[in-house]
Structure 1
Amino acid sequence: MTDLILTLFRANNLTLTWGDRLVAPLGLTSARWQVLGTIVAADRPQPVAWLARDLGANRQNVQRIVNDLHKEGLVTFEPNPHHRRAQLIVLTRKGQQTFDAAIRLYDPKVSAFAEGLAIEDIETAHRVLMTLRKKLEGDNIAEGQT
């Protein structure tokens, strides 16, 4: 398990560096791209705290990124009918266009990464990582309660 975790750390660092290079021409970083993707994936506008939860990230870090995206016109804030102070984050047209451009850069690269890998192996790796993620989330919840 230790070898898996150490490999996961290294792969994560390499993936973030790769993502930064990939989307740099669009004025994005991997972190900004992840936040945009989380907004796109949500079924409705969400406050920063929910985006952070979906990312498994620190709320303050996501707030900083959202503020940067807002300054660049990629997201906007809308009133939240359920919470006066927790505004909803909404992608602007420019934000959607930027995200779509990032995906156009990403798709051929990820397809090349998948070459030579059996779909069953990709699915197995995904299941293992999802199981590890759920255990870590459960451990973090338990740690926060003690």
Structure 2
Amino acid sequence: MGVGDWAAFTAAFISGANIVVTTVLTRSRDRISWSRESLSDTLVTLLEASWRSSDAARERHDLGPSPADPALATRLEDTMEAGFGELRASLTRLRLFASERVGAAGVDLLISHRELRDAPLADQPARLDAVSAARRRLIHAARRDLNTD
């Protein structure tokens, strides 16, 4: 094999290696991008459910123990329960895409919502504060995972 043959072989080998490396890196970048987008979408869904449930709990608390409109009170309680269900479903997705730290913060948020849901009306303001604090911890942990903090 002459020098020209070796040069052609080396060029072909380098070209092939470049294609393989580029393909691997592109797939890795695409996978990371998809994972980040999925995590972001899941966080938005989870947080929207959390705020919807908290808002309903706050409105329900404001109606008092004997609401003038019992149907409204029932709708608000149903909204709280639906938000809790959405939060639980989103948490399942979150744990697939996020770090353990974010998953744990999501579980804490779910527990805070359960305590809010199950609390007597008089205790709900304190439980709402606990939900807000848990939501802030989740956002902080998620921002660290997404490198936006």
Higher strand share: 1
Same fold judged by TM-score > 0.5?
no
Q: Higher relative contact order by CA 8 Å / sep ≥ 6: 1 or 2?
A: 2
Larger radius of gyration: 2
Q: TM-score, normalised by structure 2?
A: 0.29
Higher helix share: 2
